[in-house]
Amino acid sequence: MSGVIDVSRKVPPKLTLAQRLYLPEILRGMSVTVRHLARNLANMKRLPTILYPEQKRGYSERFRGKHILKTREDGSLKCVACYMCQQACPAECITIVAGEHPKIAYEKYPVVFDIDMLRCVFCGFCVDACPKDAIWMTRNDQMAFFTREDAVFSIDRLRETKEEIAEHGYGYRPYYPGDGTTPPSDASLLPVIPGTGERDRLREEGVKLPDRDLGAGPLNAPSQAQKAS
C-alpha cells in the first residue's frame, strides 16, 4: 500500500478479520516498544534520558530557580523594604508591606514579602534591582502546587535555610566568587550615632544650626539677586 487513502469514495472498504481484531497492529506496536526497551537496558550509560528522581541534571550557577531572602549575621533579613524589586518585576508578582525597624541602622524591614510563583517568570530582575543584596535565586526548580494559595511564598518560605542551600545550591545572584566584585556593605556594620538631644539643647540656647552643608559647587553659589543686594 502507498499509504494514500482515497477519501472521495462514498463506500469505505470493508475491514478484514485481522483488522477488525486489531491484534496484528497491537503486536506490531508492542514489538517496537519491546525492541527499544531491550536496546536501552543493554546500554544504560548512553541513554539520552536520566533516571529521575534518583538522578538529577547539574544546573548552571546562574540557574534561575526559587527565590531566597538573605539574612544578616544576627538573623534578620537584609531587605529594607525599598520596593525596588517590586517596581522592577515585569510580572507584578511581588507584594511588599514595609514596617519601621526597631534598629535605626536598618531603617525599614518587610512586614509582608510575598512572591506569587505562578505569575513569576523567573527573569531575575528583582535580584538585579536590589540595592542591599537581599534577594537571590537558587537552583531549586522542584515547585508543584495544588492550589493558588500554595504558590504564594511568604517570608517564612523565602528565608534562606542551610538545608535548602545544601540540597539545591545557589543560583542567579549579583556576585560570584572570583569575578572581582564585592557585595554592598551591611548596614548593621556601619556606626550609628544615637540621638542625645544635643541639637535640641543648642536650639534652646539660640545657637544657629545649619540645615545642610552647602559645600562647594555651582548649584550652591549665590544668585545674581543675592550678589546685587
Predicted pLDDT at 50: 83
pLDDT mean values, one per 10 residues, the chain (229 residues): 66 77 87 92 84 82 93 88 94 93 78 95 94 92 91 95 91 80 60 55 67 44 57
Residue 119's beta-bridge partner residues? Answer: none
Whether residue 77 contacts residue 71, with contact meaning beta carbons closer than 8 Å, is answered with: yes
Predicted pLDDT at 147: 92
Predicted pLDDT at 229: 63
Predicted pLDDT at 215: 43
Give the DSSP per-residue string, 180-216. Answer: S--PPPPGGGS------SHHHHHHHTT----SS---S
Q: Within 13 Å of residue 224, how many CA atoms lie on the same side as its CB?
A: 0
Predicted pLDDT at 52: 83
Locus of grid cell 531566597 = 68
Predicted pLDDT at 158: 96
Q: Within 13 Å of residue 99, how many CA atoms lie on the same side as its CB?
A: 8
Predicted pLDDT at 151: 94
Cis peptide bond N-terminal to 191, omega within 30: no
Predicted pLDDT at 183: 67
For residue 141, the tally of other CB atoms under 10 A from its CB is 15
Q: Round to whole Å and give the CA distance between 216 and 106.
A: 31
Predicted pLDDT at 172: 92
Phi, psi of 68, rounded to the nearest 5 degrees: -135, 150
pTM of the model: 0.64
